[in-house]
């Protein structure tokens, strides 16, 4: 206890000096340039360090110094007094991005917070539910540096309802973590949380990466995400395989009844990568990608994490551990029947048929493929539907049954006007794929009572 | 049993004759013109008659004849074979109107049906959940007359998803009530229900009525409906008083914490009326009124029912029985403080304050009315808010607390830019009213701990 007391007194003497006197900072800077390589190598796996380490590529030097001093004194304390001003819509935009990683249902209330970190030269907002973390830099004026964690729901609602889009918003904290948010004629006081309680994003080694456009990433997520399993019983099925080989990125999802595969060609060749990304991460990230074909997104892969960097934002997510399913043996190129049909007509027909099905009602949609036409039939306790579409067919006639939902899911995400379906027999999977196999949708058929048709 | 048999045989002989031979119809017509006045007076309260009676002002003569014949033979049967064609959007529009009176949660599945009645010269759709009934006439071709009741959910979804807006839709039924709905390349078969099971709208004597524009009716509903009680424990509070006196219509709703009153001047003088209309009826009718200032709606009042007639639609609803609350003694014109404030600024401020309140969290909004400004304060477990607005005040300073929700509800429906609030003391109701008292919103204040402010 005594030695801690001495340490504290020493700290209170030296800390203000370091903070205010320029020459002391310069000394540290020189000192740092010598010691940095060794220092960073040693501390890489040091648990406290990664917590105050900036997840942006470089090192935030202010962090490094303060960590250095503080670790000497076995004490970690940064001033929480903070004064910032923002333009409302800029702040709200940033909040909406990091909100995607804020846990709404949690017993740990700190996971329901947003961290405002203005301890460096820029302002960063962070949300982190321990599976998924998002950090974004926003424009604003730092009148006094500091950090604070605020309840995400209250904070975002206050900002959303405060004044007009271009109004100025002031945020000010005191040592007791009281936070005052004010704009024009309204003043809110809420209780903040100590930023030290907040879990920073994990540090990701930036070795293996690929680059693609935000538009493409959002598209491939949309075109595959529907066929992950919503069910946690097989963890692997709740994620998607991201496989990089040469200049090809392949994304796969499956749920036991169907497989969705999208391949895209990257601009360069990259090292091989094979990881399983949680579906929730992909769903959230596709909401914050701006979908622009010009803007790029960089993906970094480490042992246990994936990091997406784009615009002013980084998203870090845990990966799902394990070896993904071997799907290649299921992807045969053989078929006995192939037909081409107008996608929109086909989709409309199936959607209409599902009017007669309630959830959990396992009624198959039966396709009767003839030479120039396809009959669609569905019977349920509510009634029956019959429809007919014209097709171009090669190969044998076939009658085959499907869960209509699986066809609908695949057809909805295909952008082609005409699509090709390949079938072997009524027991074997059906493939919807384009010529270059940029997309492959495998769907298992279902049994049906031929007599009832 | 034997006499019934004889009746039936006679009926099967005579009915086709009546149906097909013109001269027989003419005889009935002549006969009818003599007997009609007596006939209609006698049969007015005859239960069977009201069921097949057309609720439109006049009498549907086909009904009358068939009723006459059928009542002689103690047998009521109309052919269910029916063939109709519609333009899709016309049919869908009609369905959407009557759907408002279809019960979605009912143990009696016939209440979840829509009746298509093309037994006369026009096509009528009817929905009826026994509290509220809606009937609307729609355009369509009758190829064969008939009636059928169809499951509202399935029927409406089929029509909604069938083809393009101007496609032609065919509906055909057979004697076994099988119904075929087809359009372009799709054919649906569903099981219909016997139209005889369906409850027709009750017959309403068209004696007492008032006329106003659809826009006005929709507005007065919107401006008062929020303050009915959602709670069934006091049935009277779940409805609204409609009171006609001379050329004035007064609409009142209250829930024990507040009273909303709207008065409008009608174009003519009418007989006195005082009825309580269920809130659900008003809510549904305001959804189907087109809100046009040119189009009118006629309201008819009977002992137990109210009938709204507009466009091609009639809505019939039960009334709530009983004597409404005497509110006049609560409406004092006295006040000690009166102030004028900009409605939008006031509303925005209160809405912002409610960010800090969760449901069931009874935190008062405290208004501190000073000479030229009003302070708004709210404290909760999440934090506090302070705001200030400029006002024009006459009378005493006052500090008074309200449930912010009640203020918000009233302010949202007032269209005036500037509003006047009148207060007596912190324990007496506050009145928001315009000069002519076209609207009066009475809100009870809540207690607050003055020390905590």
Respond yes or no on whether ipTM tops 0.90: no
Query: What does the pLDDT read at residue A304?
Result: 92
Lowest mean pLDDT among A165-169, A201-205, B357-361, B369-373: B357-361
Contact A312, A283 (CB under 8 A): no
Q: In degrees to the nearest 10, what's the CA dihedral of A90, A94, A96, A102?
A: -150
CB neighbour burial string for B408-418, b if at least 16 within 10 angstroms, e if fewer: bbbbebbeeee
Query: For residue A101, what are the domain limits?
Result: 78-197
Taking the C-alpha atoms of residue A422 and residue A340, their distance in angstroms, rounded to an integer, is: 9
In this complex, the residue of A190, A355, A389 whose CB is nearest that of residue B154 is A355
A46 and A106 housed in the same domain? no
Contact A117, A195 (CB under 8 A): yes
Contact A273, A233 (CB under 8 A): no
**What does the pLDDT average to over A371-397?**
94
* Closest Cα in chain A, distance from residue B385 (Å): 4
Residue B13, sorted as left (phi over 0), alpha (psi -120 to 50) or beta, turns out to be alpha
Please provide the DSSP assignment of B220-241 as one string. Answer: HHHTTGGGS-S-TTSGGGGEEE
**Neighboring chain A residues of B157 at a CB cutoff of 8 Å:** 355
Reading the block at residue A181, the tokens are 């948010």
**Alpha carbon separation from B403 to A78, B378, B382, B406 (Å, rounded):** 41, 10, 17, 6
**Neighboring chain B residues of A342 at a CB cutoff of 8 Å:** none
CA nearest to B172, candidates B141, B201, B133: B141
Taking the C-alpha atoms of residue A168 and residue A326, their distance in angstroms, rounded to an integer, is: 55
* Closest Cα in chain A, distance from residue B425 (Å): 26
B213 and B321 housed in the same domain? yes
The CATH number assigned to the domain holding B256 equals 3.10.150.10
A406 and A360 housed in the same domain? yes
Residue A72 confidence class, pLDDT cut points 50, 70, 90: very low
Contact B211, B310 (CB under 8 A): no
Reading the block at residue A428, the tokens are 């074997």
More confident residue, B191 or A453: B191
pLDDT digits (tens, 9 = 90+) for A1-42: 455 556 656 655 555 555 555 555 555 566 656 665 555 555
> Given a cut of 80, is residue B143 above it in pLDDT?
yes
B309 and B392 housed in the same domain? no
**Neighboring chain A residues of B382 at a CB cutoff of 8 Å:** 151, 154, 190-191
Lowest mean pLDDT among A76-80, B251-255, B402-406: A76-80
**Neighboring chain A residues of B161 at a CB cutoff of 8 Å:** 348, 351-352, 355
- Boundary of a domain, candidates B147, B166, B197: B197
- Boundary of a domain, candidates B328, B348, B367: B328
Query: What does the pLDDT read at residue B42?
Result: 52
Number of domains in chain B: 4
Residue B311 lies in a domain: yes
B268 and B356 housed in the same domain? no
Average pLDDT of chain B, as a whole number: 85
More confident residue, A28 or A112: A112
pLDDT digits (tens, 9 = 90+) for A249-260: 999 999 999 999
Average pLDDT of chain A, as a whole number: 85
> Given a cut of 70, is residue B240 above it in pLDDT?
yes
Based on the number of CB atoms within 10 Å of its own CB, is B397 exposed (0-12), middle (13-18) or buried (19 or more)?
A: exposed
More confident residue, A362 or B113: B113
CA nearest to B434, candidates B448, B449, B422, B447: B422
Query: What does the pLDDT read at residue A1?
Result: 46
Neighbours of B304 (CB within 10 A): 13
Reading the block at residue B211, the tokens are 């006329």
pLDDT digits (tens, 9 = 90+) for A207-260: 889 999 999 999 999 999 999 998 888 899 999 999 999 999 999 999 999 999
In this complex, the residue of B154, B351, B383 whose CB is nearest that of residue A161 is B351
A361 and A429 housed in the same domain? yes
B356 and B292 housed in the same domain? no
B133 and B31 housed in the same domain? no
Residue A364 lies in a domain: yes
* Closest Cα in chain A, distance from residue B452 (Å): 15
B98 and B166 housed in the same domain? yes
Residue A7 lies in a domain: no
Task: Tally C-beta pairs within 8 A across A and B.
Answer: 81
Lowest mean pLDDT among A182-186, A286-290, B27-31: B27-31
B173 and B70 housed in the same domain? no
Query: What does the pLDDT read at residue B246?
Result: 94
- Boundary of a domain, candidates B74, B103, B119: B74
Residue A3 lies in a domain: no
Q: What is the pTM of this model?
A: 0.78
> Given a cut of 70, is residue A349 above it in pLDDT?
yes
Residue A418 lies in a domain: yes
B298 and B253 housed in the same domain? yes
B302 and B350 housed in the same domain? no
**Terminal-to-terminal C-alpha distance of chain A:** 85
Query: What does the pLDDT read at residue A166?
Result: 81
Residue A375 lies in a domain: yes
A386 DSSP β-pair partners: A377, B187
Residue of A nearest to B157 (CA): A355
Residue B204 lies in a domain: no
Taking the C-alpha atoms of residue B251 and residue B432, their distance in angstroms, rounded to an integer, is: 16
B438 phi, psi to nearest 5 deg: -65, -35
Query: What does the pLDDT read at residue A165?
Result: 78
Identify which of A289-293, A346-350, A447-451 has the greatest average pLDDT.
A346-350
Residue whose tokens read 């005493």: B396
Hey, are the CB atoms on A186 and B349 less than 8 Å from each other? yes
Residue A204 lies in a domain: no
């Amino acid at each position: 206890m005594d030695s801690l007391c001495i340490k504290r007194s020493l700290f209170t003497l030296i800390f203000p000096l370091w903070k205010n006197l320029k020459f002391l900072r310069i000394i540290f800077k020189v000192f740092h340039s010598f010691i940095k390589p060794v220092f960073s190598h040693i501390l890489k796996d040091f648990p406290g360090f990664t917590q105050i380490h900036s997840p942006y590529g470089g090192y935030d030097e202010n962090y490094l110094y303060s960590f250095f001093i503080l670790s000497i004194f076995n004490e970690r304390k940064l001033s929480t007094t903070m004064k910032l001003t923002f333009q409302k819509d800029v702040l709200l935009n940033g909040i909406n991005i990091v909100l995607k990683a804020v846990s709404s249902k949690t017993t740990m209330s700190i996971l329901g917070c947003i961290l405002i970190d203005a301890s460096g030269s820029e302002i960063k907002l962070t949300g982190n539910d321990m599976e998924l973390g998002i950090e974004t830099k926003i424009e604003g004026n730092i009148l006094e540096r500091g950090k604070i964690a605020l309840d995400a729901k209250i904070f975002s609602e206050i900002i959303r309802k405060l004044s007009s889009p271009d109004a100025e918003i002031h945020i000010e904290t005191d040592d007791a973590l009281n936070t005052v948010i004010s704009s024009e004629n309204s003043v809110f006081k809420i209780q903040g949380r100590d930023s030290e309680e907040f879990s920073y994003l994990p540090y990701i080694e930036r070795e293996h990466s690929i680059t693609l456009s935000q538009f493409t990433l959002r598209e491939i997520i949309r075109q595959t995400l529907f066929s992950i399993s919503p069910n946690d019983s097989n963890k692997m099925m709740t994620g998607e395989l991201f496989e990089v080989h040469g200049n090809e990125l392949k994304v796969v999802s499956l749920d036991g009844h169907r497989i969705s595969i999208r391949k895209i060609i990257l601009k360069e060749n990259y090292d091989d990568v094979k990881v399983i990304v949680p579906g929730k991460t992909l769903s959230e990230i596709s909401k914050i990608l701006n979908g622009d074909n010009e803007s790029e997104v960089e993906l970094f892969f480490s042992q246990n994490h994936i990091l997406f960097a784009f615009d002013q934002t980084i998203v870090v997510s845990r990966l799902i551990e394990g070896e993904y399913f071997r799907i290649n043996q299921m992807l045969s190129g053989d078929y006995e029947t192939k037909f081409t049909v107008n996608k929109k007509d086909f989709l409309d027909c199936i959607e209409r048929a599902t009017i007669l099905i309630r959830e959990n009602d396992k009624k198959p949609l039966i396709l009767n493929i003839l030479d120039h036409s396809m009959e669609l039939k569905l019977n349920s306790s509510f009634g029956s539907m019959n429809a007919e579409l014209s097709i171009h067919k090669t190969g044998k006639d076939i009658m085959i049954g499907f869960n209509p939902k699986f066809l609908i899911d695949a057809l909805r995400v295909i952008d082609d006007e005409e699509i090709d379906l390949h079938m072997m027999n009524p027991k074997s999977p059906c493939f919807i794929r384009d010529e270059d196999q940029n997309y492959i949708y495998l769907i298992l058929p279902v049994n049906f009572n031929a007599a009832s048709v």
